[in-house]
Structure 1
Amino acid sequence: MAALEEGFTLTAVPLGSGPDGPLGVEQSDKTDQFLVTDSGRTVILYKVSDQKPLGSWSVKQGQIITCPAVCNFQTGEYIVVHDNKVLRIWNNEDVNLDKVFKATLSAEVYRIHSIQGTEPLVLFKEGAVRGLEALLAEPQQKIETVISDEEVIKWTKFFMVFRHPVLIFITEKHGNYFAYVQKFNSRILSKYTLLLGQEEKSVTQSFSTSVDRKFISLMSLSSDGCVYETLIPIHPSDPEKNQRVVRSLLLKSVVSGNARSGVALTILDQDHIAILGPPLSASKECLSIWNTKFQTLQTSKELPQGTSGQLWYHGENLFMLHGKFLTVIPYKCEVSSLAGALGKLKHSQDPDIHAMTHFVNWETSQGYGLESQNSEQSKRILRRRKIEVSVQPEVPPYIQLLAAIQKDSEKHIEVELRKFLAVKRTPHFHTIIGDAVIGLLGRYKAEPSFYPRNCLMQLIQTCVLSYSLCPGLMEFALEKTDVQILQLCLQQFPDIPESVTCACLKIFLSIGDDSLQETDINMESVSDYTATIQDGEIEEQTEILQNGFNPEEDNCENCAQELIEKPQAATEESTSCPVTGKRAALLENATMTLPGIHPPTLNQIMDWICLLLDANFTVVVMIPEAKRLLLSLYKLVKSQISICSELNKIEVSFRELQKLNQEKTNRELYSIEVLELF
């Protein structure tokens, strides 16, 4: 269970004189003290337990604080930025900020981050990062641009992973979101494109993160009122490459989708998150705690005076602006369990008796009446158990994935699949993917209601599958008439039997246009083949179509000339096509691609062979082992000549037919004609 305790106002001084409320609430070097930065000119140091300010500092009239103040845990000093570029450093003894240390930087600052165990970091608005010490040594140093034009930083977080600092910041450009992860132990900056899930069609309003040994869990609260999760690997397989990660639905409809402001999200622990915003059943804003493991609402508190849509979390306290005053609401979250999530956890202890703690303090164990001998024995048992736990091998991600496929829900399988795909690929990666597909199909046969379409799509897009590796996949897609999966298989599988290809062709030809219109189909294969007629002019195609149609032939030019000379009605009739764009994408995309990032074209391969033969003709002829190669090449060339000859005959016949059709338009008499094809 989780509970929100009675809140209290931290100070009677109104905050949030700016349009967006306070800039931030940051931990100081003392556990119970916090720096509150107003959006105007003031920084206040509060002691929460006493509910009173310990100090207050303001910039002079005409200046404005643009970055939340933070504490340098290495020195105990405070740092703030005003007017975007001016950095100030002071301590508790200083009174006037105008007289403390000042450094004017060469670029605008987005945020200063400071946590225990490392020096503060300065994140600039263009995405560059500098350590505070290096920046103070040369304040006017040139700051590079990391993000692209019109890309804006929306949110950022700084944390430690294995005692190494890691910075993540989220940017937005034209409705698209990107995540940048900066690891300072290796100086690696990784970029990720945050793809929208199938359910998500809204704007992201709030972010929060948690971190474990392998992944950064990035949660986002969108304007549709739902919470989405993205797993970002801490150790990416290709750090230099712009990678793509998909957001998946975590919690549905936690706040009203009509809320335009006052919405925020923060992660409390592994299984609990706090949500600020109006729920579906109420118009007033609320603070609520949700259990993400069991997807249940644990507790909520109404905030009748409204908020600024900002929520800060430190220790076991939640900070927010309630009305115009900073409010602190303590909370408690117990270890997540099904009974606790459903509110049915029973406590056997007498409420008048203090519950025994879950650990034993060995230094004070004598006070509980424990004998010294029992204490030493318990110590040995505890040490032995710790050793046993520590030597247990970690379960590999692919074992977790295959186990989840057998029994877990589709949502949980998607989470395990994303975890597996995020780690570095092993030599047996393709066989594991094949086993995963077979496992999903086997469970579908046993449970017809289980339809793991999203998982199958992600597995196919790994580009390591083949028909022989998962023979039941295309039959499954044919049974479901899933043309999107069939299209992906046809594009990627090199060993599809002819019977299956014919079955796919029948599906593509027989499916209705209405069904195709609602289906997400890759249209890249026909994007360059469309010809448009505008203002009486024809934009001729410059690409040769894959079905053999060549727009550069003379007959096509004649046809185009005829179209120009015909009336508008005839032009419109001639440009209509019986095959829609989506059906054409399913039928025309039949190219054979070679493996690799930049595979050679057929012409490049033929040129290379010709150059090889021309340069080494004498050697090739004299080598006995080359006779079989020469014989094969001779047969290939002979067959190609034969095919070209037949195609030329067909071409000539078509030209004759075209001439006859042109002559028919001038004849008014009835006639019977016989055309012989040789």
Structure 2
Amino acid sequence: MAALVEEFTLSTGVLGAGPGGFLGVEQSDKADQFLVTDSSRTVVLYKVSDQKPLGSWSVKQGQTITCPAVCNFQTGEYIVVHDHKVLRIWNHEDVNLDKVFKATLSAEVHRVHSVQRTEPLVLFRRGAARGLEALLTEPQQNIEAVIPDEEVIRWSEFFMVFKQPVLIFITEKHGNYFAYVRLCKSHSFSKYTLLLGKEEKSVKPNFTARVDGKFISLVSLSSDGCIYETLIPLYSSDTEKSQRLVRALMLKAVVSAGAQNDTAITILDQDHIAVLGPPLPTSKECLSIWNIKFQTLQTSKELPQGTSGQLWYHGEILFMLHGKCLTVIPYKCEVSSLAGALGKLKHTQESGTHPMPHFVNWETCSGYELGSYSAEQSKTPRRKKIETSLQPEVPGSKQLLSIIKKDSEKHIEVELRKFLAKSTPDFHTVIGDLVAGLLGRCKAEPSFYPRNCLMQLIQTHVLSYSLCPGLMEIALEHTDVQMLQLCLQQFPDIPESTTCACLKLFLSDTIHNEKKEMQEPAEIVQNGCSPEDSSCSKDDQQLSKKPKGEAKETLSFPVTSCPVAPKRAALLNAVLHSAYSETFLLPHLKDIPAKHITLFLQYLQFLYLKCSGSAAMTLPGVSPPTLSQIMDWICLLLDANFTVVLMIPEAKRLILNLYKFVKSQISVYSELNKIEVSFRELQKLNQDKSSRGLYSIEVLELF
């Protein structure tokens, strides 16, 4: 999911936006400070959190700034070009641009690009590029022409790819578009012909790009209102001639067809893209965020004062010209998943747990031990020596993997505890390798089952089913219900077949003293596990125990006692919370025996009565199932096994009750839909401008 936070306006007392808006908004060497260049003479440094300018610099009357000002991240200085050829460099303490460093170049500049970890790059109008240091050594050096005559640069971007600066720029000539990729260190240069649609010949498309592995993902907003993607290889096999690249449709009809003047796009991350433009021909301009992986609109915001068709993105902040003011809109984007797109993913974070890291730090995974990169390198040798003398020797990940292959289970557990205590894992791969090593030995040695080690690794909260697909299968083989419960609570990507296998085990497995537990309501069982187990929650209470002062049920159905013991109820609740797709789940539900289906339906009936008995009542436990989840599973089970359950005599009364439950829910949703339609009609009436100033009486029949 994605969300736009409340917008705010930066002070515009010293800025003047021209008809085309601003020249640019660029990051400075401070995270919260940005350089804003207007369309004529002024550069302003803003601190966004304070919403005020920290400094302002202007060129003389008669001079014009011709490209956005940028920051040299290596020196902290600012760079701007005015009148196409005059380059200025200044510090924050400088007041007058006319008195700062000046260099007159021999060719006209298109733009100066600057990114972290490398020197700024100057891109000239004829396609040549020079590093800032080499250019300042000889400002009047000859600048070659890279692109042919009449070919004009329309868009450019600068990246750092594996410590290699990469420049890409798009040119246009008589309606034909070309892409140039330059690897600055290796001096490799490639040209590509972009195959756009016929309608693009007379309309300028919008471009944005990101690096995806060994390709540059070039994304363009077409005049037909659709977004297309073109993959451009970083390393070309043939640099002598222009290669042709075909684009592919990414998103369909995100803005109104032909609305090109006030549209813009920018990639936010690997799954989300921001689009500026009217979604329909008659609608107002709008800022929206789309999920490009699942083709869904995440959020949008109307812009009644209009825009200049410019959109800048830095960190988690969007900049745009709204009316005549520079507007800042913070946003949040969650990592997208199929479960989240289907609406079946848990979004509430349970208390006491740690969020799963969103990204893998691949630099620390290649050639470095866990925790040894950056944090270890920043320590002085003296400090390292002191820490080494005070702490016991802790194995690295490779050494621990060798221990897993041959040592005893007890020794592995001790070394693993040391390893996890020493370093806090912030990525998935190392923990995944450790689990894979343990599971590999489990398959090779059937008697080897390091349960405590696996539980420790699961509780690091960095695992998923796809990272260790054999873990739940091993737990199913050993009937380890507690480990399965923990996996169901933490893994967001469990296949439906595995979920049903867990359900079948929970329904068929004989839990010790279950009848005794059901007859002794004074005993509290925590989350389906033993009270002394530290991994169990202290908030789970016995489901069959009524809260004090509970009112009598108002439903016509009697509230029966819970048909399963608290331990089994906690296990079944974990299944109810798991993510699933109905299409893939239904075939596996048909394999569960009829008597177990009946037991599960009885438990769901009990949960329904407890949930619907009082509007303010909630089920005990840390994360009890919701009424929607209960009804979803009732419908799933009846769809998959209706004929089989109908043949069981003792299930007939149960089916009649469940039928009434489902019917009552359908009735409630039907009435809610009527109310929704009525409110929608009221909203349309409020938006109808033609009726303003007129006196009228209208009758709306809600039911």
Shorter-chain TM-score: which interval? 0.5 to 0.7
Q: How much does 1:256 deviate?
A: 0.5
1:358 aligns with one of 352, 356, 359: 356
Which AA in structure 2 matches 1:67?
C
Distance 1:16 1:153, change over 3 A: farther
Which AA in structure 1 matches 2:316?
E
Q: How much does 1:346 deviate?
A: 3.5
Contact 2:200 2:223 in 1 (8 A): no
Asked if 1:376 is matched to 2:374, the reply is no
**Quick check: 88-97 or 374-383, which moved more?**
374-383
Gaps of at least 5 residues in structure 1 are 364-370, 393-678
The alignment partner of 2:67 has SS state of: strand
Contact 2:175 2:200 in 1 (8 A): no
Contact 1:89 1:101 in 2 (8 A): yes
Contact 1:291 1:341 in 2 (8 A): no
Give the match for residue 8 of structure 1. Answer: 8
Distance 1:218 1:354, change over 3 A: farther
Asked if 1:173 is matched to 2:173, the reply is yes
Q: How much does 1:134 deviate?
A: 1.1
Distance 1:379 1:386, change over 3 A: farther
Distance 1:375 1:357, change over 3 A: farther
User: For the residues of structure 1 that align with 2:173 and 2:97, how far apart are their CA atoms?
Assistant: 36
Equivalences for 1:650-661 in 2 at 5 Å?
none
Distance 1:381 1:79, change over 3 A: closer
Q: How much does 1:137 deviate?
A: 1.1
Give the match for residue 483 of structure 2. Answer: none
Equivalences for 1:305-316 in 2 at 5 Å?
305-316=305-316
Equivalences for 1:321-340 in 2 at 5 Å?
321-340=321-340
Contact 2:257 2:281 in 1 (8 A): no
1:533-558: per-residue Cα shift (whole Å, max 9, x none)? xxxxxxxxxxxxxxxxxxxxxxxxxx
The alignment partner of 1:280 has SS state of: coil
User: For the residues of structure 1 that align with 2:186 and 2:36, how far apart are their CA atoms?
Assistant: 33
1:404-459: per-residue Cα shift (whole Å, max 9, x none)? xxxxxxxxxxxxxxxxxxxxxxxxxxxxxxxxxxxxxxxxxxxxxxxxxxxxxxxx
Asked if 1:93 is matched to 2:136, the reply is no
The alignment partner of 1:238 has SS state of: coil
Give the match for residue 661 of structure 2. Answer: none
Q: How much does 1:209 deviate?
A: 0.4
User: For the residues of structure 2 that align with 1:384 and 1:349, how far apart are their CA atoms?
Assistant: 19
The alignment partner of 1:34 has SS state of: strand
Q: How much does 1:185 deviate?
A: 1.7
Contact 2:174 2:201 in 1 (8 A): no
User: For the residues of structure 2 that align with 1:200 and 1:85, how far apart are their CA atoms?
Assistant: 32
Distance 1:268 1:391, change over 3 A: farther
User: For the residues of structure 1 that align with 2:354 and 2:432, how far apart are their CA atoms?
Assistant: 25
Distance 1:101 1:300, change over 3 A: same
1:369-390: per-residue Cα shift (whole Å, max 9, x none)? xx99846346689699528669
Q: How much does 1:19 deviate?
A: 2.4
Give the match for residue 255 of structure 2. Answer: 255
RMSD value, Cα: 2.9
1:326-350: per-residue Cα shift (whole Å, max 9, x none)? 1110111111113433556432446
User: For the residues of structure 1 that align with 2:259 and 2:106, how far apart are their CA atoms?
Assistant: 39
Q: How much does 1:74 deviate?
A: 1.0
Give the match for residue 277 of structure 1. Answer: 277
User: For the residues of structure 2 that align with 1:158 and 1:389, how far apart are their CA atoms?
Assistant: 35
Which AA in structure 1 matches 2:354?
M
Structure number, greater radius of gyration: 1
Give the match for residue 31 of structure 1. Answer: 31
Which AA in structure 2 matches 1:286?
C
1:38-67: per-residue Cα shift (whole Å, max 9, x none)? 111000001111111100000011111001
Q: How much does 1:321 deviate?
A: 0.6
User: For the residues of structure 2 that align with 1:35 and 1:384, how far apart are their CA atoms?
Assistant: 37
The alignment partner of 2:419 has SS state of: helix
2:430 aligns with one of 386, 392, 395: 386
The alignment partner of 2:26 has SS state of: strand
Distance 1:179 1:391, change over 3 A: farther
Give the match for residue 80 of structure 1. Answer: 80
User: For the residues of structure 1 that align with 2:423 and 2:50, how far apart are their CA atoms?
Assistant: 43
Give the match for residue 455 of structure 1. Answer: none
Q: How much does 1:31 deviate?
A: 0.8
Q: How much does 1:15 deviate?
A: 4.2
Give the match for residue 573 of structure 2. Answer: none
User: For the residues of structure 2 that align with 1:141 and 1:134, how far apart are their CA atoms?
Assistant: 10
Contact 1:202 1:223 in 2 (8 A): no
Q: How much does 1:239 deviate?
A: 2.3
Which AA in structure 2 matches 1:222?
S
Contact 1:170 1:178 in 2 (8 A): yes
1:514-549: per-residue Cα shift (whole Å, max 9, x none)? xxxxxxxxxxxxxxxxxxxxxxxxxxxxxxxxxxxx
The alignment partner of 1:13 has SS state of: coil
Asked if 1:147 is matched to 2:147, the reply is yes
Contact 2:15 2:44 in 1 (8 A): no
User: For the residues of structure 2 that align with 1:297 and 1:185, how far apart are their CA atoms?
Assistant: 40
User: For the residues of structure 1 that align with 2:249 and 2:65, how far apart are their CA atoms?
Assistant: 37
The alignment partner of 1:255 has SS state of: coil
The alignment partner of 2:262 has SS state of: coil
Distance 1:317 1:355, change over 3 A: farther
User: For the residues of structure 2 that align with 1:202 and 1:252, how far apart are their CA atoms?
Assistant: 21
Q: How much does 1:293 deviate?
A: 0.8
User: For the residues of structure 1 that align with 2:172 and 2:353, how far apart are their CA atoms?
Assistant: 49
User: For the residues of structure 2 that align with 1:177 and 1:190, how far apart are their CA atoms?
Assistant: 14
Q: How much does 1:14 deviate?
A: 7.0
Which AA in structure 2 matches 1:357?
P
Count of residue pairs brought into register by the alignment: 383
Give the match for residue 452 of structure 2. Answer: none
User: For the residues of structure 1 that align with 2:343 and 2:22, how far apart are their CA atoms?
Assistant: 35
Which AA in structure 1 matches 2:27?
Q
Which AA in structure 2 matches 1:68?
P
Which AA in structure 2 matches 1:386?
V
**Quick check: 194-203 or 223-232, which moved more?**
194-203
Which AA in structure 2 matches 1:56?
S
Gaps of at least 5 residues in structure 2 are 359-369, 376-413, 437-703
Which AA in structure 2 matches 1:318?
L
User: For the residues of structure 2 that align with 1:151 and 1:389, how far apart are their CA atoms?
Assistant: 52
Distance 1:355 1:255, change over 3 A: farther
Q: How much does 1:89 deviate?
A: 0.4
The alignment partner of 1:87 has SS state of: strand
Contact 1:9 1:326 in 2 (8 A): yes
1:250-290: per-residue Cα shift (whole Å, max 9, x none)? 11110011314110000011111000000026521110001
The share of aligned pairs that are identical, in percent, is: 73
Distance 1:342 1:59, change over 3 A: farther
